[in-house]
Amino acid sequence: MGVQQVRLSETVRYLGDEALDGLVAVNYGHNSFLESHAVFVLSGVRPIGESAVVVDLSGASTLIVTPAWDAERATKLSHTSKTVGTDDLPGTLATVLGEHRIDGRKLVSVGLSTLAQGLAKRIEAALGGNSRANELFIRQLARIRSPEELAASQRATAIAEQGYAHMLTCVRPGLHEYELAAELYCEMKRLGAEDNFLLMSASQHNLAVRAAGGRVLDVGDIILSEITPCYQGQFAQICRTTVIGKPTPVMHEKYAILQAAMRAGQKAAVPGASMRAVTAAMDDCFRASGYGDYCRPPYMRVRGHGLGITSDLPGDLTAESDTRLEQGMVFVMHPNQYIPETGYLMCGEPVVITPDGAKALSARVAELDSVAA
Amino acid sequence: MRTVQPCIVIGSYVWDQDRVPRDEFQIRIAELNRLMDANGWKAVLVYGDAAEHSALAWFSGFTTRLRWGMALIPRQGEPRLLISMSSRDVPAMKLMTWIPDVVSGWSWDSAFDPWLAKLEGDGPIGSIGFELMRPPLFASLQKSLGNRFSLQAADEAVAAVRSTRPRELSQIRAASRLVQAAGAAFVEPWRLGKDIETSALAAERTARMMAAQDVRTLISFDGGRTLSPFRGAFEPQADRQSGMAGYIAVKHMGYWADLFVTGTRRASEVEQRTQASLRTLLDLAKPGAVAAELYAKATVALAPYSLHPVLSGSVGRRIGLSLNEGGEIRSDSGHALKPGEIYSLATGGYDPQAGGALTSAMLAITATGSELLHLSPASKLQ
């Protein structure tokens, strides 16, 4: 039984426990890196446009995709009982709910709060206006990666590492940032990445990583890259720092703080640990080096975060999060940090939670890399 | 064409003052001020997200690459741009807009309420793009507005006064040149026997190396019967004699240009009828042309074939800061073409023996006719 069938079965069990007739999960047509994709989790399909999955208490399920012409592809991929293509999602949803004989008063919705409100209102009307929402259902349902999802995460990680290795062969003074980003992005696509949350930029003193632009690379630049390919619906992220020319001793010294924070975070991230505790373990490394005042925005953002589409749990690695880690959770851990002497530096790996702590999925953990000028 | 929205737009959108100087935005804001005066609006709030941000980009220069952005433009006082990004990212975001006051919208109360408090009196506020806003954000906004201010949709009023500016046309021509280069790169690998995904990736790489900010492709794995997103399988051509079909859209300096690519190795009637249909559209597309009549004549020229399903019953639409600026040319369209509008026209059909044929063009409607910006590359592969 594939993971979608397992999750559809768990959904039916949930409906029974809650005395509900059915569930409607919707998605807004984005391949979000930061949010779970309720339609993908239940059907195995990422439709081109807005979409919905209807599941009823008997176990029957229907995937509705837009645009209508995407139906044939979706039908081949979907694990639902039926697939329908349409250019009118609310209208077709109303019809499908009738076919499933679902009473709108005994219906739970997932994902309506992520839709554009114009569409959300039309869908709410199609649901009868009496449904209840459980926006957390899918992220909880899919919070632990299945073996095949973990394998895809590992493949995504390998693509990220190979892409970065390719980037190192392309870097040279005189290249535009966007040309380097094109090399990096297209190489990972050649390796099978369907999408990529890619940020890559360079400066002599970075404030943060940003989108690649028209800047021309030069000797002494520090290239920051946040490389996040998606493979079979699983994102993996590595964060890397590359110097054009020979890194200075102070660069090595400060980068070692990030590496120490990464190791401390991995050690602390055991099943049952809170995100708050893991964050504290990482921040302590910066505090010990005199950078406690910099453990907040705008000098950093978060120490890691969930990787979306399947589930965005465990959420952001912050000092405020009480979320508890569970074995099998996959997320990115990245003690990326602005340091006054060097500018922003990046160091991060995708990790899976094991009894021994957070195990990096990457084959080679981040070093301060350099390329000849 | 509807394409897959990527998780982030990876290209850079730094405000290029050589191409769009400050006075250009002064002209655009002056249009907005006239609307505010005419409607009694104290301000206009312009919302956009990563998928659709045409109005936001037109007024602020800011392109939303991730999540959402909103320009708060008062009739009196200073504008503010809210971005759904961390305060860490504000310095980079400030480079993307003429609005100096850029604030992270993540702390809503401290980002929006102080700006609102500076508005004098009470009354309506115009809103643009609010249909796209997520319900929780809208609830926060309504809470801030309270009973003092009401919202009035300004979308139609703004669309009526927003025309393609000469500087925009210059940028659209540049995007058109870029997509032509990418289109040519799309065909070449297939001609040499490579698979369709290698072909699409060659086109994408060409566009990105030329500073495209966004690239979308769709490809056919079945000789042009259907289109699919990129899947990364790179399966070899099953039949070296079969044709190819694909679609590419590129965004450059904020403006979209797109085209279909069809490759055929032998002449077919469906390909001839598709070309005849496009010629009909190009001959008739001029100021005052009624969209529904254009559709009717294009589909007559396509007969005996029906319009290809991937075109969703439309042979064209306006294009610009959005891949779909409206103005779909359908059987039931009620509008006529106007000078200054930029259209992407597309037509095609499918024959079970010969496969699918899809072709397209982009043109600017002028005062007296039209300016052809580009055509799909030639379809003959040999």
pLDDT at B381: 60
Residue B15 lies in a domain: no
Residue B14 lies in a domain: no
Average pLDDT over residues B141-165: 94
Same domain, B36 and B182: no
* Confidence label for A363 from pLDDT (cuts 50, 70 and 90): very high
Residue B4 lies in a domain: no
Would A3-141 and A147-371 be classified into the same CATH topology?
no
In this structure, which CATH number among 3.40.350.10, 3.20.20.140, 3.40.720.10, 3.40.1050.10 belongs to the domain A3-141?
Answer: 3.40.350.10
B367 touches chain A (CB under 8 A): no
pLDDT at B214: 96
Q: In chain A, which residues have their Cβ closer than 8 Å to the Cβ of B18?
A: none
pLDDT at B237: 80
CB-CB contact of B355 with B239 (8 Å): no
Interchain CB distance below 8 Å, A48 and B2: yes
CB-CB contact of B145 with B337 (8 Å): no
Task: Quote the CA–CA distance of A42 and A65 in Å, as a whole number.
Answer: 13
- Domain total in chain B: 2
Strand residue runs (E) in B130-197: 149-153
The percentage of chain A sitting over the pLDDT mark of 90, rounded to a whole number, equals: 93
Interchain CB distance below 8 Å, B89 and A69: no
Which residue, B138, B161, B184, sits at the end of a domain? B161
Radius of gyration of chain B (CA): 22
Same domain, B152 and B172: no
Same domain, B220 and B259: yes
Q: In chain A, which residues have their Cβ closer than 8 Å to the Cβ of B4?
A: 31, 46, 48, 195
Where along chain A do its domains lie? 3-141, 147-371
B110 φ, ψ (degrees, to nearest 5):
-85, -15
Report which secondary-structure segment, H or E, holds B293. Answer: helix B291-302
Residue B19: pLDDT above 80?
yes
Same domain, B117 and B183: no
B84 touches chain A (CB under 8 A): no
Max Cα distance, chain B (Å): 72
Residue B62 lies in a domain: yes
Same domain, B114 and B146: yes
Residue B366 lies in a domain: yes
Interchain CB distance below 8 Å, B92 and A230: no
The percentage of chain B sitting over the pLDDT mark of 70, rounded to a whole number, equals: 99
pLDDT at A130: 81
* CATH number of B179's domain: 3.90.230.10
| pLDDT-wise least confident of A199-208, B5-14, B56-65 | B5-14
Q: In chain A, which residues have their Cβ closer than 8 Å to the Cβ of B3?
A: 48
Task: Quote the CA–CA distance of A201 and A208 in Å, as a whole number.
Answer: 9
Q: In chain A, which residues have their Cβ closer than 8 Å to the Cβ of B138?
A: 117
* Confidence label for A19 from pLDDT (cuts 50, 70 and 90): very high
pLDDT at B240: 65
Interchain CB distance below 8 Å, A297 and B86: yes
DSSP structural state of residue B341: -
pLDDT at B380: 67
Q: How far is CA B345 from the centre of its chain?
A: 13
pLDDT at A309: 87
CB-CB contact of A214 with B213 (8 Å): no
Omega cis (within 30) before A298: yes
Residue B47: pLDDT above 90?
yes
Q: What is the pLDDT of residues A293-334, one digit of tens each?
A: 999 999 999 999 999 888 888 999 999 999 999 999 999 999
| pLDDT-wise least confident of A219-233, B93-107, B259-273 | B259-273
pLDDT at A308: 82
Same domain, B281 and B314: yes
Average pLDDT over residues B326-344: 97
Residue B49 lies in a domain: yes
Which residue, B113, B138, B161, sits at the end of a domain? B161
Q: What is the pLDDT of residues A107-151, one digit of tens each?
A: 999 999 999 999 999 999 999 988 899 999 999 999 999 999 999
Q: What is the pLDDT of residues A184-208, one digit of tens each?
A: 999 999 999 999 999 999 999 999 9
Residue B379: pLDDT above 80?
no
Residue B366: pLDDT above 70?
yes
Q: Please name the member of A68, A181, A300 whose beta carbon is closest to the beta carbon of B10.
A: A181
Report the complex ipTM: 0.95
Complete DSSP assignment for A34-78? SSB-HHHHHHS---SS-EEEEEETTS-EEEEESSGGGHHHHHHH-
Q: Please name the member of B2, B130, B233 whose beta carbon is closest to the beta carbon of A49.
A: B2
A58 to chain B, closest Cα gap in Å? 31
**Thinking of the domain A147-371, which architecture would CATH place it in?**
Alpha-Beta Complex (3.90)
Q: What is the pLDDT of residues B184-206, one digit of tens each?
A: 999 999 988 899 999 999 999 99
Q: In chain B, which residues have their Cβ closer than 8 Å to the Cβ of A298?
A: 86-88, 90-91
Interchain CB distance below 8 Å, B309 and A69: yes
* Confidence label for A72 from pLDDT (cuts 50, 70 and 90): very high
Interchain CB distance below 8 Å, B229 and A189: no
Residue B140 lies in a domain: yes
Task: Quote the CA–CA distance of A105 and A21 in Å, as a whole number.
Answer: 9
Token pair, residue A306, equals 């969930």
pLDDT at A4: 87
Residue type, B302: L
Interchain CB distance below 8 Å, B135 and A196: no
Q: In chain A, which residues have their Cβ closer than 8 Å to the Cβ of B201?
A: 186, 189-190
Omega cis (within 30) before B304: yes
Q: Which domain holds residue B276?
A: 166-375
pLDDT at B13: 80
Which residue, B124, B145, B161, sits at the end of a domain? B161
Backbone dihedral region of B351: left (phi > 0), alpha (psi from -120 to 50 degrees) or beta?
Answer: beta
Same domain, B232 and B210: yes
Same domain, B198 and B147: no
* Confidence label for B382 from pLDDT (cuts 50, 70 and 90): low
Same domain, B172 and B287: yes
Residue B281: pLDDT above 80?
yes
Interchain CB distance below 8 Å, A198 and B5: no
